[in-house]
Structure 1
Amino acid sequence: MKKKLLFAIDSLDCAGAEKSLVTLLSLLDYTKYSVDLMLFAHETILESLVPKEVTILKPLKYTEYTKLNIKQSLIYTLKNSNYKMLYSRMKYSIGIRKENYRNSQKARVFWQSVSKNIEKNSKYYDVAISYAQGVPTFYIADKVRAKKKFAWVNVSYKLKEQDKTFQKDFYDKYNKIVAVSDTTKEIFLETFPDCSEKVGVIHDINNPDLIVEMANIGESYDDNFTGVKILTIGRLDYQKGYDIALNACERLKENGINFRWYVLGKGPQQKEIEEFIDKNNLTQHFILLGTRSNPYPFIKNADIYVQTSKFEGFGLAIAEARMLNVPVVTTRFDAVYAQMVEGKNGIVVDMNPEAVSDGIMQLINDKELRETIIQYLRGEKKGNIEEVEKFYQLLG
């Protein structure tokens, strides 16, 4: 009999954890496993890449309710005499406006506000897996019945005391906790030292054959620009350090570099970033491309990949750039040396605009260094699909 698995993740937008999950799902043996997938936002960009064997569960009632505009939600409330959803929605909306919350704080406020309106999953699973921290972790802990529960941690999890206290009760309900790098594990255990006996490491899985294949199909840059193409991929938020990137972009422009810095991503800082671009006359230099289900032709055709993150669990986009032999300039976030070899497969710099722009200019001006890095990348081991064996061992 097939083992019944449930995965939960916020959405399948084009980001690291999401791409890692889609890759893992593409490698599973569906003669042995029956797989359900719970999403908290639907119709996102990577859903088309989910294997046909996977059942994407119907949206939660509250998820559907949040799609309604204010007028529609009021009509729904009155028609169904269901005031709880409206109250929860208003409570959450008001709650997150009190401060400039980070994602972990928003997740806590969300669950405190609406969890009573989230229905329980009616099935019983052999294994239920939260593939991201926050809401998926709370959902699997509270709303799902399973023989075993596993929680993935794919960011450097540093929490304020209130969030640490809130989340501890949820992680206590898990049999195993999986970090995506040794550094991520260390930081998680600094936050939750009592979990030391049940934390292990399985790196974000990436399949080089799939990435190379996808890099040769689909759209890429269409502006006929012949200068240096710089690329960054990542959600437009605090974590990815776009304040650093924008100021580094200004310095490159001031130094007369013939470049364009392209960005694949969307997120809460988009308006702020667009305003900075307009105010500082960077419209021809810092170009937001939105998201793409297939970012790999953009990576392949870039001259330099740049990551300005302030923290990462692993840095999957860096791994993808390396697999396509594109030199990397990255900030020195916690887990960076899980994959970067300083001066060999790229350049690791301090977390400030001056260091980032200097690193980029070094790669542009030192052609010998650039070629040495490309040759090193070509010889590097590509991908890590063997990590799927660790996943099978975890399932038992």
Structure 2
Amino acid sequence: MKKNLLFVIDSLNCAGAEKSLVTLLSLLDYSKYTVDLMLFGHGGELEELVPKEVNILKPLKYTEFAALSMKQAITYSVSHINFKMFSSRMKYSLGIRKKKFSNPQKARIFWQSVSNVIENNPKAYDIAISYAQGIPTFYVADKVEARKKYAWVNTSFRLEGQEKLFQKKIYDQYDKIVAVSESAREILLETFPYYSNKINVIFDINNPDSIYKMASIGDSYEDQYKGMRILTIGRLAKGKGYDIALEACKKLKERGLKFKWYALGKGPLKKEIEEYIKVNDLSEHFILLGVKSNPYPYIKNADLYVQTSRFEGFGLAIAEARMLNIPVVTTRFDAVYNQMVDGKNGLVVDMSSDAVCDGILKMISDHELRDSVIEYLHSEKKGNVEEIDKVYQLIG
């Protein structure tokens, strides 16, 4: 008899955890499992890549309500003579206006504000998996009936005070927690040392065959530029270090390097980044490409991949660049040495614009280093589809 599985994630926008989940789903044996997938945000670029065997559940009622304009929300509430969802929405909106909050704080405030109007999942599952920390984790803990519950942690984050107390009550409801790297596990244990026997490590799964295939199809750079192409992939958010990237870009320009630096991603810092580009006259050097459902032709046709993250659970885009034999320059975030060998498959530098600038110049100008890095990349083991065996051991 097939096991019933539920996966829950925020959305399937083009980002690391989302790509990892799609890859995992593409490798599952559907003769053994029936799979439901719940999203808090629909319409993401990767939804078209979800295997046909996966049942994407309808949006939650509150998710649809939250997408309404304020006028539409009031009309809906009046016509249904029910202001509970409107009240919860306003409570959350007002709750996050007071000051700047971290992502864990925003997730807690959201759940404390709206969980009372989010319906329980009507189905009982053998296994329910939250594939991202925060709201998916809260939902599986509080709104899903399952024989076993597993929580994926795909970033490095530390909690203290109110956040630690709140999330302990959540994670106490899980049978297992999965960290996507050894460093992510170690950092999680700094917050929750009593979970040492509860945390497994399963790396984000990379399937080189699918990446090679997708890198050969679809769109790539549309300009006719023939010079050095630098690429960065990541959400336009503080954690990805775009301020470091922009400052490094400015310094590269000042030092006379001929290049274009492209960024794939979207996020809350878009306007701020665009303003920096305008003020510093970098429109010909730092180009925002938005989000692409297939980023692999862009990676394949880049000369250098640069990651300026402050933290990563694993660093999936780096792994993808390595699989396509593109030299990497990356900042020294916690999980970086899970896959980087400094001086061999790229350069690991300090988390500063000067260090990133110097690393890029070194990788470009030192031809002997660059050639040796490319040779090493070609000889590296590609992908880690064998990680699916750890998933099978977990879900049975």
Residue in 2 aligned with 1:115? Answer: 115
1:150-189 alignment runs, 5 A limit: 150-189=150-189
Q: Which runs of 5+ in 1 are unaligned?
A: none
**1:369 corresponds to which residue?**
369
- Counterpart CA distance in 2 for 1:61 and 1:170 is 23
Give the aligned partner of residue 52 of structure 2. Answer: 52
- The yes-or-no answer on 1:387 pairing with 2:356 is no
Amino acid at match of 1:59: P
Q: Give the TM-score normalised by the residue count of structure 2.
A: 0.99
Instruction: Give the 3-state SS of the residue equivalent to 1:249 in structure 2.
Output: helix
Cα distance, 1:160 vs structure 2: 3.4
1:216 corresponds to:
216
After TM superposition, the runs of 4+ consecutive aligned structure 1 residues lying more than 3 A away are none
Q: Equivalents in 2 of 1:347, 1:395: separation in Å? A: 37
> In structure 2, what residue type is equivalent to 1:145?
E
Count of residues in correspondence between the two structures: 396
What is the CA–CA distance in structure 2 between the aligned matches of 1:77 and 1:174, rounded to whole Å?
35
> Aligned AA for 2:328?
V
Query: How many Å separate the matches in 1 of 2:387 and 2:52?
Result: 22
Query: Are 1:125 and 2:108 counterparts?
Result: no
The residue number in structure 1 matching 2:339 is 339
Q: How far apart are 1:371 and its partner, in Å?
A: 0.9
1:101 matched to 2:101? The reply is yes
Q: 1:344-395: per-residue Cα shift (whole Å, max 9, x none)? A: 0000000000000100000111111111100000000000000000000001
Identity of aligned residues (%): 68
Superposition pairs of residues 17-96 of structure 1, within 5 angstroms? 17-96=17-96
Amino acid in the other structure paired with 1:337 = Y
Of 383-392 and 186-195, deviating more is 186-195
Q: Paired residue for 1:8?
A: 8
Tell me the secondary structure at the aligned position of residue 196 of structure 2: helix
Deviations 1:215-248 (A, max 9, x none): 0000000101111100000000011000100000
Q: Secondary structure at the match of 1:340?
A: coil
| Amino acid aligned to 2:70 | I
The residue number in structure 2 matching 1:227 is: 227
Within 1, Cα distance between the matches of 2:339 and 2:367?
23
| 1:274 and 2:287 are equivalent in the alignment | no
1:200, distance to aligned residue in structure 2 (A)? 0.8
Alpha-carbon separation, structure 1, partners of 2:231 and 2:180: 24
Within 2, Cα distance between the matches of 1:355 and 1:151? 36
What TM-score does the superposition give when structure 1 sets the normalisation length? Answer: 0.99
C-alpha separation between the residues in 1 aligned to 2:203 and 2:348?
21
> What secondary structure does 2:126 align onto?
strand
Matched, 1:143 2:143: yes
Q: Distance in 1 between matches of 2:206 and 2:109?
A: 33
Instruction: State the distance in 2 between where 1:59 and 1:241 align.
Output: 33
* 2: CA distance, partners of 1:93 / 1:268: 16
